[in-house]
Amino acid sequence: MRFLVRRLGFLLVALWAALTVNFFIPRLMPGNPAESMMAKFHGHVNPVAIKALEVAFGINNHQGLISSYFEYINNTLHGNLGLSLSYFPIPVSTVIMRALPWSLGLVGISTILGFVIGTALGAIAAWRRGGILDNVLPPAFIVISAFPYFWIGLLCVWFFALTLGWFPILGGYTETATVAWNWGFVGDILWHSVLPAFTILLTSIGGWILTMRNNMITVVAEDYVKMARAKGLKPRRVLWQYAGRNALLPNLTGFAMSLGFVISGAILVEYVFNYPGLGFTLLQAVQNEDYPLMQSLFLLITVAVLVAIFISDVATALLDPRTRSSS
Amino acid sequence: MREKFKGGLAALALALVTSTCVLGPSVAGASGQVPLNLDNEQGMLWACSFNPFLPTSSPYSVGLTYETLDFIDALENAKVTPWLASAYAWSNANKTLTFTIRSGVKWTDGKPFSAADVAYTFNLLKKTPALDANAVWSVLSSVTQSGSNKVVFNFTKSAVPYFFYVAGQVPIVPQHIWSKVSNPVTNPISTPIGTGGYVMSKCTPQNIQWTANPNYWQPGLAQVKTVNMPAFLSNNTANEYLATGQSAYGAQFIPNIKSYFVAKKAGNGYWFPPVANVSLFPNLTVAGLNDVAVRQAISYGINRASVSKIGEYGYEPPASQTGIVAPTFSSWSSSAAMKAAGSSYDPAKAKSLLTKDGYKLDSKGVYAKKGKELAFTVITNGGYSDWIASMQVLGAQLTKIGIKITVDPVASSNFYSDVYAGKFQLAYNVETGGPSPFYEFRQWLYSKNSAPIGSAAASNWERFKSPAVDALLNQYGATTNVATQHSIMSQLQTIMVQQAPIIPVLEEVDWFQYNNKEYSGFPTPKNPYAQPALYNEPDWGVVLLHLKPLS
Amino acid sequence: MRLFSSIGNVLLRSFKFLRRDKKAAAGSIIMFVLLVITAFPTWFTPHDPSAEIYTPGAGLSWSHLLGTTSFGQDVFSQLIAGTRQSVMIALIVGFISTVLSVGIGITAAYSGGIVDDVLSLVTDVVLVIPTFPLIIVITAYLKSASFWLMVLVLVITGWSYGARQLRVQALSLRNRDYLLAARARGESSWYVICVELIPPMTSLIVANFLGAALYAVLTAAGLQFVGLGNINTESWGTMLYWAQNNEALSIGLPLWALAPGVAIAILGSGLALLNYAFDEIGNPALRPVSAKRLQKARA
């Protein structure tokens, strides 16, 4: 219990830090969204409109730093994220809610898949020390994990979409399809998600394989595993229930820790595929200098990672009796 | 292992391909007529906000749902077509403008439209400056209803050119709805009620659908029953949408348009009418560029035809130093100014101008005076690859004749703040222009549009200041006499040639693709009744009103 | 003197190890070649990388080994010219991050108590906040990051992982006999840390340097790819930006987009292979074994 309370405390501190960073970044830096909004209109809008935009966006509203800090914290905690500038006057929360399901579906599923498959492969590789998997997977994935995620995406686009024509080049769905809950549209979504999901899977899986393999190697050498083997338990049972379970614990923490990294890569994958999720929206917001949207997205991603870490902490506590008793 | 995985993916893909075949473009309307799909890539999903006063949402409502008092066509010499106002008249030394409001027009919710709505709309802008995107209240003093069908606009000074903004750009909204909107700036207006030929019938982030207004006040128009505008996140897919014939009306930049689009289907065509200049803005506060001879030499040193061909696939024609966009505004062109300008590309003249001014080629092949080389950096919008390519060509041309040019593509957001603040030596950019050359000249040259270096200038980025030019521009603003207007514009063109405060390079065009075997009624060079690009408000609404489905 | 001899010892062992370990050898060769290109790019560039003077969109040929861009630049020359920035970012960010990691990690472990608590908390917070979106937000406000700004941002976000690892390792060493003995002799903290504590951790520190360098290369490339770097500099990420912006893949110039990615992947692999090799020095159990030897051992 104490362990979980401590972790909860940590979660709150990290959250507060993210909020504070988020508050101060824009205030320390120059920039005027009205000007970049004009840039987006590419000269089709009367140049005097910039004055009206500045008024509409509330630029040049002077307020004390401390009071606006508390107002900001209060607003954020109440889910009041302000209005998006590029989608003005649509609230940021609406824009985010549109993008969220796409990212949850694509990044969420492929990250969990990557973790499960990678962990399993790593465990098997270590169990059969010197086997084919053990000799091939680590070096192969060392190399692959050093590739830029987005470039793997470009490669997939070029090979599977442009050269072979198996998959669509871009997007989360056929842009002109009727949006409805029927098999046609769901199939369309799945069809569009294959390449980006494959990209995320391919680049994230290596880390899990390597850490799991390395944990397993240490665990397999432990006495209780040798003991289990000596007792003549089925190898499969020893692999998953004795060694695997214990080797998984550090990997779970690793999962939480590197989740931020995976999400970073996924942002670029979404960008490459024009996938309408949070990452793509974030980069769109950057291009349009839509600061409220940008910051809210950063905050949302941070919260997601922190919550995932906390969940993995809970899982660790459940799986590992030691953390439950000691602090 | 991975081989098997790939095979599995292929099978999955195949299954999905077959399942997606049932998906076509949106369903046909009740009339059985195929909907018209528009191709207008904006790189974002739709906000489904239809506030006609905000530049973020007005492109999707003004012209189609909301209408203006008059329609003013830039391609026909600012020809005025009466729209919601049946007539207008200037009086009181061009300081009072009276509109007669059309009767028999109904809002799409069935309520009658009246002069009260017009007066309400303009006073709403007065009360809410955030909505006054065209700054009409910078020259207006009052707008009042007079009698049952007249609205009187009083100006603080004679401001004839503001007619374009007041009559042609401000959308009229219904008082009975807007008076109940608590915050008109932040209200998304998700069900817009206007007087237009189309009613926004469905909006999702992926598509906006409009249906023809059956009670539209101009009978016989709006024959296309259903119009879709899918949201495209990338130029790639939007171009493919046109090339595969799914859209009959596009506003896209397409490289190699002839083979990529025109050849694909009978009836496919394009027309890129020029509407403004893309110019080099020399920062007149920078040493060297404050010298007329240097600016003229730059202008003569540019082979505009070659810049157009290499940088823009020839889509954007070469511009003239007189500043007049041809052929759109050719009737304004001054033969005296043209003669003074002579050949637009004349490297020998460029060199002699510099020599006469005391410049000499130094050991590096660059003109210099008192040890100061003519070496400048031109900033351009890093987001537009065509502009960068154009500037690379232009830079090489000028460097060859002894004016060293470095091209600096600046990230889009940074570019605009640099241009506004005057933080550049040369900048390549475009002004909005208007329905006649005057608007672009005023944006370029009026000293009040400028600002000191470091603060933002909405236009006149080069920081040009000339009391004589200001006087000419003010004089134009005070007259409705066409002959006087032409004489003023001729004088301004001569100033453009003699002082070269701006160096026009290419002509900015409207991107416009069509298929005239599926729809008739598109604007053509012979019948340019409206600007054809889908991002021109209210023009695109006028075009849609005139389209007729064939077949 | 002992300091030098013990570091020398480690270096000697590393060198022997490089000769034996295939991954390490491959990584070293890659890094060596890239360092030579970084130092002398003009030996390899046949053309001016930024000159837009060749036939736009040309395919492979002897004069243009990787074809040209749609602006008429030589892709191969751009690739060579871009090497310097990526390698420099890797080395500089790797070095500064490692210094920070060592400083903070070891201070925390050595001091213990409240200092450890605070430093560990800061480390963990920096570690869990997703850095890439944060960097995006920061560079978006700064509107395109110059080289040194990018270095700064990458260092600020890149030190925490190493600091955490080093703290754990230092904690495990802190109470070893020889350290306690050195303290008992009355040696200064500096002496204990530099001479007794750090040398046994050398392989982990090197591995951390390589990890931070890899992180810097990939993150910088990602930022430049989305246009948040300085788009006028010659770097692989910037090449990818221009290629992507001009739809290189769709207009039939795949090499323009794929070649810089391969270059980043090669540099990344070099760093990753070395990193892994140094991990194995630190933890010999992870080394690859032949199945035969293993069977023998089991029997």
Query: No. of H helices and E strands in chain B?
Result: 16, 23
Element (H, E) at A171: none
Query: Chain C, 20-49: which have a CB under 8 Å from a chain A CB?
Result: 23
Can you give the pLDDT at residue B26? Answer: 43
Q: Who contacts C246 (Cβ-Cβ below 8 Å, separation ≥6)?
A: B385, C69, C70, C71, C256
Can you give the pLDDT at residue C288? Answer: 61
B272 CA to chain C: closest CA distance, Å?
21
Give the span between the Cα atoms of B374 and B396, in whole angstroms. Answer: 14
Give the span between the Cα atoms of A153 and B149, in whole angstroms. Answer: 62
Q: Who contacts B183 (Cβ-Cβ below 8 Å, separation ≥6)?
A: none
pTM of the model: 0.80
Q: What is the mean pLDDT of residues A30-36?
A: 64
Q: Who contacts B116 (Cβ-Cβ below 8 Å, separation ≥6)?
A: B145, B175
Please give the DSSP secondary-structure letter assigned to residue B103. S
Can you give the pLDDT at residue A151? Answer: 86
Give the span between the Cα atoms of A187 and C106, in whole angstroms. Answer: 54
Q: With a cut of 90, say whether residue A225 has pLDDT above it.
A: no
Give the span between the Cα atoms of C189 and C183, in whole angstroms. Answer: 8
Average pLDDT, chain B: 89
A245 vs A261 pLDDT, higher one: A245
Interchain proximity B411–C143, CB inside 8 Å: yes
B305 vs A249 pLDDT, higher one: B305
Q: What is the mean pLDDT of residues B470-480?
A: 93
CA distances from residue B114 to B119, B219, B249, B387, C113 in whole angstroms, order as listed: 9, 19, 34, 47, 79
- In contact, B528 and B329? CB cutoff 8 Å: no
pLDDT tier at C2 (50, 70, 90 boundaries)?
A: low
Which of A86-95, B213-222, C66-75, C225-234 is modeled with the greatest confidence? B213-222
Can you give the pLDDT at residue C19? Answer: 66
Q: Which amino acid is at B204?
A: T
- The 10 Å Cβ neighbour count of residue B256 is 11
- In contact, B443 and B459? CB cutoff 8 Å: yes
A234 vs B162 pLDDT, higher one: B162
pLDDT tier at C18 (50, 70, 90 boundaries)?
A: low
- The C-alpha R_g of chain C, in whole angstroms, comes to 23
Average pLDDT, chain A: 78
Tell me the pLDDT tens digit for each residue of B103-149. 999 999 999 999 999 999 999 999 988 888 888 998 999 999 999 99
Q: With a cut of 70, say whether residue B21 has pLDDT above it.
A: no
pLDDT tier at B294 (50, 70, 90 boundaries)?
A: very high
pLDDT tier at A40 (50, 70, 90 boundaries)?
A: low
Q: Give the largest CA-CA distance in chain B.
A: 86
Q: With a cut of 50, say whether residue B29 has pLDDT above it.
A: no
Give the span between the Cα atoms of B407 and B391, in whole angstroms. Answer: 7
Can you give the pLDDT at residue B30? Answer: 47
Q: Which amino acid is at A290?
A: D
Share of chain B above pLDDT 70, in %: 94
pLDDT tier at C227 (50, 70, 90 boundaries)?
A: confident
Closest to A200 in 3D by CA, of A114, A136, A91, A323: A114
Q: With a cut of 60, say whether residue C295 has pLDDT above it.
A: no
Give the span between the Cα atoms of B291 and B314, in whole angstroms. Answer: 31
Q: What is the mean pLDDT of residues C245-267?
A: 80
Tokens in use for B440?
Answer: 């672009």
The residue extents of the domains of chain A are: 101-289
Tokens in use for B534?
Answer: 């889908």
Tell me the pLDDT tens digit for each residue of C99-143. 999 889 888 888 878 888 888 888 888 887 777 788 887 777 776
CA distances from residue B215 to A77, B30, B32, B196, B541 in whole angstroms, order as listed: 49, 17, 20, 10, 16
Give the span between the Cα atoms of A266 and A305, in whole angstroms. Answer: 13
Q: With a cut of 70, say whether residue B199 has pLDDT above it.
A: yes
B358 vs B239 pLDDT, higher one: B358
Q: With a cut of 80, say whether residue B460 has pLDDT above it.
A: yes
Q: Who contacts C9 (Cβ-Cβ below 8 Å, separation ≥6)?
A: none
B333 vs C50 pLDDT, higher one: B333
Tell me the pLDDT tens digit for each residue of A93-151. 888 888 888 888 888 888 888 888 988 888 888 877 777 777 788 778 878 878 888 88
Can you give the pLDDT at residue A245? Answer: 76
* φ, ψ of residue B101 in degrees (nearest 5): -90, 135
Give the span between the Cα atoms of B442 and B476, in whole angstroms. Answer: 10
Q: What is the mean pLDDT of residues A210-216?
A: 80
Q: With a cut of 70, say whether residue B7 has pLDDT above it.
A: no
**Cα angle value C78/C84/C88 (rounded, 5°):** 150
Give the span between the Cα atoms of B116 and B118, in whole angstroms. Answer: 5
Q: Which amino acid is at B501?
A: P
- Kindly indicate whether the domain formed by A101-289 is annotated with CATH number 1.10.3720.10: yes
Closest to C140 in 3D by CA, of A287, B42, A68: A287
Among A35, A88, A187, whose Cβ lies nearest the Cβ of B56?
A: A88
Please give the DSSP secondary-structure letter assigned to residue B332. G
Q: What sections of B402-481 are H helices per DSSP?
A: 412-421, 437-445, 467-477
B409 CA to chain C: closest CA distance, Å?
7
Tell me the pLDDT tens digit for each residue of B238-274. 888 888 888 999 999 887 788 889 998 999 999 999 9
Among A28, A146, A294, whose Cβ lies nearest the Cβ of C265?
A: A146
Give the span between the Cα atoms of B515 and B245, in whole angstroms. Answer: 9
pLDDT tier at B546 (50, 70, 90 boundaries)?
A: very high
* Residues present in chain B in total: 551
Tell me the pLDDT tens digit for each residue of C146-188. 788 888 888 988 888 888 888 888 887 777 777 778 777 877 7
Among A10, A155, A283, whose Cβ lies nearest the Cβ of C226?
A: A283
Query: Chain A, 116-155: which have a CB under 8 Å from a chain B CB?
Result: none
Residues of B in Cβ contact (< 8 Å) with A88: 47, 49, 54, 56-57
Pairing of strands B96-101, B79-82: unpaired
Q: Which amino acid is at C237?
A: G
Q: What is the mean pLDDT of residues B478-501?
A: 95
Residues of C in Cβ contact (< 8 Å) with B382: 227, 231
Interchain proximity C250–B389, CB inside 8 Å: no
pLDDT tier at B516 (50, 70, 90 boundaries)?
A: very high
Chain B residue with minimum CA distance to A188: B20
Q: With a cut of 50, say whether residue B14 has pLDDT above it.
A: no
